[in-house]
Structure 1
Amino acid sequence: MKATIQHVAEEAGVSVSTVSRAFTKPDLVARKTRDRILAIADNLDFRISRSATALKTGQSLRVAFLTSDPLATWFNAHVFEGMNSVLQQAGYDISLYQIDTPEKRHDFFSILPVQRNADAVIVSSFDIDPTETGRLNTAKVPIIGINVPTTTSYTASISIDDAAGMQLLAQHLITLGHRQIAFVGVPQDSKIHFSAHKRERAFVDTCLATSITPSVIHVEDDDELVSNVMTALLNLAQMPTAVCFQHDSMAIRLWTSLRKYGMECPHDISICGFDDSTYAKDISLTTIRQDPQKTGQAAAEKTLRLMAGDSSFQTHQLVPVHLIARESTAKVSASS
């Protein structure tokens, strides 16, 4: 005979509602009691019905994750890993939505309140339109931002201080004696705003404050990135002695190709990035460190608390940045 929730409750010496909470809201059950219930349930081969739980609570037991880039990117993969480590234990699945246009964003926020197929929304790295999220706020569906350009319309957020990070990189290059400096980033879309675009503005402003006018180069982050960057650099009136990239993956790709152009890093040109991502340490890339896995965990913890009706915490959090100075940046050589 198949075990029921009543069998588990009787064996554990607790009420049926306590067994239910041990599965659906484990944070409300004492650890010792919860562990005993789960052990007995496992021994009896009992599994609570997900659909029945959703029907009873009015929850979908699902969190929507909105991102503009593929999940396979370094940042998104680590954010997802961090979120899932928290949400899965609480009984929630994550549904991925790739949003890269205002139209897709509008469609998502128009359909979700009707279908109610997510109990919370986590948005990574772009802004949202207050006119699109009103119905979710009315329905008390929390919206949590990760590395977002503004906290407007977000119930809570956790973001790295992009501006402070780029200020550190610019000051680092200037301290090393660089005056011919370039910044390389992706083109900015005026219709949807991304947090990484704040990096360019902060870098340029820091240079201008010391009477240095950096060259700004916009290129698509595609297979032609290296050739497009080098073409742009060589077409400048004077070749920069230092280049700062919007993120590490762009910097690493140029670093690996410099010898094709008869150049060495940092002897001929200093290079720095942003993220401290995979391989940054291997090539000794100067960068700004962030930990997207921890960011994802923190966002998920905020999400769970908000879904439980608890907002008695720091809802909007700005994470400090750290400059990681390595061998890809050096003082300007005498020949430069």
Structure 2
Amino acid sequence: MDDTVVVPPQDLGTRPGRKGLTVAKVTIYSIAEELGVHASTVSRAFSRPDLVKDDVRQRVLDTAERLGFQPSRVARRLATGSTGAIGLLVPDITNPFFPPLVREIQAAAGEVTVVLVDAQGSAEAEPALIARLRAQVDGILLASPLASDDVLREAIGSTPTVVLNREIHDLPSVVSDMSTALHAAGDYVYGNGHRRVALLTGTVGSWAAEQRRDAIRAWAATTDVALTELGPFDASYDGGRAAASALLDTDATAAFAFDDLTACGVIAGLAEAGERVPDDRSVIGCDDVLLARVVTPTLSTVRTPNEELAQTAIATLQAAVAGEETASARLEGTFEPRQSIASAA
């Protein structure tokens, strides 16, 4: 028995018969019969193309396409150890940041199947979810994971892995560097006359929250603004409303929120207290999710380069799966000024 045999698919293809068009299951044996080659040659054309001459492989592929044959994914895994799939773990699919990113990753992956797993906001759930993914995929993308570095490394084991929007020692990462864009946002706020600014910090332990906090601190240090740090607050709409309550106890005329969802909660919380954005206070978010463009007033924010992030992550993971050398990447965000910033009163 040839150890690279591809199991025939369940789909039915159409083949011309002597008495007209008939329906029959297309197999590697029918392709081999048509080409006058051994079935194992057809099998290797799909599972080990490097072992088949170029002209023969092309004839096999052309005939398979004409007959409507597709090699079984299960068979390919048995023959090559490859699943043709990658895993994508997100911490919370209900966060509006992740659906557009998932779409871009799927587009960048092309014909590769993307297996999506949602941790539902639980760091404790991530190791078991990663273990389940490892059994089904060739490699894993971890998008903004919540668990500790050590826990994640142990869960990943030897599975090729790329981390998005977080840096973990010894793992390739692709992150959005918001520093330059947040400096630009700060300068825009400063140019509108704001000298008392609040920083509404994000969730404790969040890599992105720490990076954004440090960027705002660095910007403030280059100016004469009085920076007030509040929080940490949960990266959620309700977290933003809690941040608004704290903001009301300060004299800050502008506030940087961890992300757009939090910023929208801030706007709502201020409105409930009788303050209007941007007439009474200006608010800046981060990520540029759809919500930032449809909320009233439209939200000034920093845009994450999702398309480039996804393409770079997929390319890096493909290199890791192939056993090639990989390198981490930092992609810059861009500042998008909108209606939520006005001149200081």
Query: Which TM-score band (shorter chain)?
Result: 0.7 to 0.9
Structure 1 residues 205, 13: closer, same or farther in 2, change over 3 A? farther
Q: CA RMSD in A?
A: 3.5
Q: Please tell me whether residue 310 in structure 1 is matched to residue 331 in structure 2.
A: no
Aligned to 1:207: 220
Asked which structure has the greater RCO (Cα within 8 Å, sep 6+), the reply is 1
Q: What is the DSSP-based 3-state SS (H/G/I as helix, E as strand, rest coil) of the residue aligned with 2:230?
A: strand
Instruction: Tell me the CA shift for residue 225 of structure 1.
Output: 3.7
Indicate which of 114, 117, 139 corresponds to 1:96: 117
Structure 1 residues 162, 292: closer, same or farther in 2, change over 3 A? same
Aligned to 2:303: 289
CA distance in 1, matches of 2:123, 2:298: 38
Q: Please tell me whether residue 194 in structure 1 is matched to residue 207 in structure 2.
A: yes
1:80-120 deviations in Å (ceiling 9; x for gaps): 21222233513x342415175554445556x469x643321
Q: Please tell me whether residue 3 in structure 1 is matched to residue 29 in structure 2.
A: no
Aligned to 1:319: 331
1:163-187 deviations in Å (ceiling 9; x for gaps): 3333332232223221111122333
Indicate which of 259, 275, 283 corresponds to 1:263: 275
Aligned to 1:180: 196
The residue type equivalent to 1:123 in the other structure is L
Q: Please tell me whether residue 76 in structure 1 is matched to residue 88 in structure 2.
A: no
CA distance in 1, matches of 2:96, 2:53: 36
Instruction: Tell me the CA shift for residue 55 of structure 1.
Output: 0.8
Aligned to 1:246: 258
1:192-213 deviations in Å (ceiling 9; x for gaps): x432332122213322443423
Q: What is the DSSP-based 3-state SS (H/G/I as helix, E as strand, rest coil) of the residue aligned with 1:94?
A: strand
1:273-299 deviations in Å (ceiling 9; x for gaps): 111210423443211111324322321
Structure 1 residues 176, 105: closer, same or farther in 2, change over 3 A? same
Aligned to 1:231: 245
Aligned to 1:170: 186
Indicate which of 169, 193, 208 corresponds to 1:152: 169
Q: How many equivalent pairs are there?
A: 312
Structure 1 residues 230, 135: closer, same or farther in 2, change over 3 A? closer
The residue type equivalent to 1:217 in the other structure is G
Aligned to 1:124: 143
Q: What is the DSSP-based 3-state SS (H/G/I as helix, E as strand, rest coil) of the residue aligned with 1:218?
A: coil
Aligned to 2:71: 48
Structure 1 residues 259, 102: closer, same or farther in 2, change over 3 A? closer
The residue type equivalent to 1:16 in the other structure is V
The residue type equivalent to 1:199 in the other structure is R
The residue type equivalent to 2:143 in the other structure is S
Contact 1:65 / 1:96 at 8 angstroms: preserved in 2? Answer: yes
Structure 1 residues 93, 54: closer, same or farther in 2, change over 3 A? farther
The residue type equivalent to 2:266 in the other structure is L
Structure 1 residues 2, 135: closer, same or farther in 2, change over 3 A? same
Structure 1 residues 197, 17: closer, same or farther in 2, change over 3 A? same
The residue type equivalent to 1:206 in the other structure is W
Q: Please tell me whether residue 143 in structure 1 is matched to residue 165 in structure 2.
A: no
Aligned to 1:301: 315
Instruction: Tell me the CA shift for residue 5 of structure 1.
Output: 2.4
Contact 2:240 / 2:265 at 8 angstroms: preserved in 1? Answer: yes
CA distance in 2, matches of 1:321, 1:102: 26
CA distance in 2, matches of 1:213, 1:195: 20
Decide which moves more: 96-105 or 71-80.
96-105
1:149-170 deviations in Å (ceiling 9; x for gaps): x24121x221110333333322
CA distance in 2, matches of 1:202, 1:136: 30
Decide which moves more: 50-59 or 166-175.
166-175
Instruction: Tell me the CA shift for residue 244 of structure 1.
Output: 1.1
Unmatched segments (≥5 aa) in structure 1: none
Aligned residue runs from structure 1 range 106-117, under 5 A: 106-107=127-128, 111=131, 116-117=135-136
Aligned to 2:109: 87
Structure 1 residues 29, 104: closer, same or farther in 2, change over 3 A? farther
Larger Rg: 2
Moved over 6 A (4+): 36-39
CA distance in 1, matches of 2:259, 2:237: 16
